[in-house]
Structure 1
Amino acid sequence: MPPSTLGRLGLLARDRGLQAGFGVLALFVVGDLRRDLLLTATYSASAIIASMLTTAWRTAAVAVASVTLAFLIGYLDDGPAGAEWALRGWLGAALGVLAVISAVVRDRREERLRRMTVIAATAQQALLSSIPSRLADVELAARYVSATTAAQVGGDLYEVSSTPYGVRMIVGDVKGKGIEAVQIAASVLSAFRHAAVTESDVGALARTLDAAVGRMVSDEDFVTAIVAEFAHDRITLANCGHPSPVLVAGRRIESLDPVEHTLPLGLGADPVLSTHPWPEGARMLLYTDGLVEARDRRGRFFPLDDHAEELADGSLDQALDHLVDQLLLHAGTHVDDDLALVLTEHHA
């Protein structure tokens, strides 16, 4: 038998829908033959179960088997003179047809969902274009970690721009999932690219972004974000409801918390700026909440503080790859929410 045929047979053998459908059918048949329960009309319940778990074609296979057995066993029980076996058989056939129709509707709905997810993921990846490895005296590296296939596409975003005021960066996270989140993220990035080179300070830049987000979202939607400006030996941050960056200078680890907590973009953000030393060789990690909210099997959050010191080891890319490996090890090879990571380093 050709290897391709063996592979297809193996896939069929592992299909949970087929296993469940034929398993239930076998139980009905064995119960009917042993105790004469007249269950032939319910044989097609096996097709209904299969329709919830497998494709329409495989559901049809279970339905055909159930209806065939219903007519055969009914005929053997009642004989040609009886009429009830035929009625039960036709009732089972009607249930089988409904099961196949249900599977067809589910298949089409899932295919539409898959297409929309692919479109959203493609749009999101197009938005998150590769950032340069260096701008002025700032070296950069970024990672985007997608969630499980069951999760929807999120609105995590990042961008960096060289301006007359220094290197400016935004890392943000749109509330919600799907196409709408990606559209909002695109608008935020567009507004940032325009305002980053025109606004005189990052506070004004954040307020401009807040106004842009407010025009496009409802009262319940928002974008958490942090806007950073790197100028020589100082970092200026405008934190709008976003997780605080982590600064690694030598072996000193510091969370750059805001002076005063501020509402996210779209809710009237007016951040109080905070300024921090930016010594040569120091690194700063900016991230979205998918990093610190990743849970292990016991429900424990990812302990970023335990791994922050490791951000100083190796190149920026190596440090980020190691952090992602530790995250996946903690969460069990997958995460439940998309996350964006940007690691920077000061090189005079």
Structure 2
Amino acid sequence: MRAFFRSLSRPGAGGHHHALFRLAECVPFLIALVVLAIELSPAHVIYTGPLLVATPALAAVTMGPKGTLAAALCAVGVSIATATHNHAWGGQQVYTNFLALFLVSTASFMTSRTERTRRQNELNQVRRIAAAAQDVLLRPVPERLGPVRAASMYLAAETGAQIGGDLYEAVETRYGVRMIVGDVRGKGLPAVRAAAVVLGAFREAVHYEDELAEVINHCAAALERDAAAASADDAPGLLEGFVTALVVQVPEGPTVEVVNRGHPPPLLLRNGEVHALYPVSPLPPLGLEEFLDGTSGTTDSYVFERGDRLLLHTDGVIEARDGDNVFFALPEAMAELQDCTLEEFLEGLHAGLMRHTRGRLADDVALIVVDRAEHGDGEAAV
């Protein structure tokens, strides 16, 4: 579904920023090369000392302590080479340049080291906050919920991140076990905010809405209210955004009910074969209610018996590609892991996904897997 709306996404400038940053890192060494070229040419009468002394200070701005030290050593090497080539040893200017280079290099190295420590402390604090936010937003599902055994996993694509734009939850209610999996368009704090809005609405609605379709409609209404508030406050929010999501209900009987709002369908593993539970009437994602054509949502029912395994996932799994641009074969991976426990099943999918992408996820991944169980099979209901 994300591919369907890909044309609506705005291209990011992260690649350009990365290239400019890499170019800035090369500036100190380019200056050293320019100084070397001048000193080895007939134009060596030009005084290049200040340029060479500036290289460690420039390196400290864009690189860490190691980069600053490398730039300083490069500058010293150029100074020695040019002084030897121009027979300048013994002159006061040469030793003055060396002294200035030593002082600037020492100060730049210390500054870079202090700045690196400060940034690391800030990063550690952000990670602690992200971990706390994850405990609130994306809590691991209980091992047993009413008629099912369950397990969950979340993988953030961004390096060092704990949470992103994918969401999941599973709650035991008087109607049965109700679950949600969703994917917010976009990244960063606005995506986390949208995920929090949808999860908050879901956790409230699952306990009092009789109809499963009304649960997801409650989530859509909350998303719309937050977008309106963000627009009024001119704050980063959900403007022009949407959330693909599906809600699932597993009652005591051998069925499962699904309302799908533009999300990849759940996958049912039965006797070694994987079946996609496609919606009878496709519906648009949350945030695009104008395309509902007056309907409030359709609930589809499927057989879900003891021994069956149901996987709810986001498109970060099925759209993951290898170096040859081949998508990850999720149904085949599920079939190979059919005899594993739920935890081993998710770990196996995780390992297969990392092998396929060589450890580089392009999108966040959220997974919930449930097995149909029976009371008295060795585990107490929660």
TM-score normalized by the length of structure 1? 0.77
CA shift at 1:174, angstroms? 1.8
CA contact (8 A) 1:148 1:334 kept: no
Partner of 2:11: none
2:266: which partner in 1? Answer: 245
Equivalent of residue 318 in structure 2, options 258, 279, 292 = 292
Provide the C-alpha distance between the structure 2 equivalents of 1:242 and 1:274, rounded to a whole number of angstroms: 14
Kindly indicate whether the alpha-carbon contact (under 8 Å) linking 1:212 and 1:266 is maintained by their aligned counterparts in 2: no
Q: Deviations over 1:326-347 (max 9, x none)?
A: 1111010231222111111111
Whole-Å separation in 1 of the counterparts to 2:348 and 2:70? 48
Give the aligned partner of residue 162 of structure 1: 172
What amino acid sits opposite 1:59 in the alignment? T
CA contact (8 A) 2:29 2:74 kept: no
After TM superposition, the structure 1 stretch with the greater mean CA deviation from structure 2, 102-111 or 127-136, is 102-111
CA distance in 2, matches of 1:182, 1:193: 16
TM-fit CA distance, 1:153: 4.4
TM-score by length of 2: 0.71
Do the aligned residues in 2 keep the contact of 1:124 with 1:182 (CA within 8 Å)? no
Q: How does 1:101-250 map to 2 (within 5 A)?
A: 116=126, 119-149=129-159, 153-217=163-227, 218-231=238-251, 232-250=253-271
CA-atom RMSD, angstroms? 4.2
> 1:262-292 CA distances to partner (integer Å, 9 max, x unpaired)?
1212222643221101111111100111111
Query: Residues 1-348 of structure 1 correspond to what in structure 2 (within 5 A)?
Result: 27=33, 31=37, 34-38=40-44, 42-43=51-52, 46-47=55-56, 50-51=59-60, 54-55=63-64, 58-59=67-68, 62=71, 66=75, 73=83, 116=126, 119-149=129-159, 153-217=163-227, 218-231=238-251, 232-268=253-289, 270-348=296-374
Per-residue deviation, 1:23:
6.4
Unaligned runs of 5+ in 1: 1-15
- 1:293–1:194 distance in 2 versus 1, CA, 3 Å: same
Identical-residue share of aligned pairs (%): 34
Q: Counterparts of 2:282 and 2:120 in 1: how far apart (Å)?
A: 42
What secondary structure sits across from 1:154 in the alignment?
coil
Rounded to whole Å, the distance in 1 between the matches of 2:42 and 2:124 is 46
Deviation at 1:49, TM superposition (A): 7.2
Q: Which amino acid aligns with 1:333?
A: G
CA separation of 1:68 and 1:307: change in aligned 2, threshold 3 A: closer
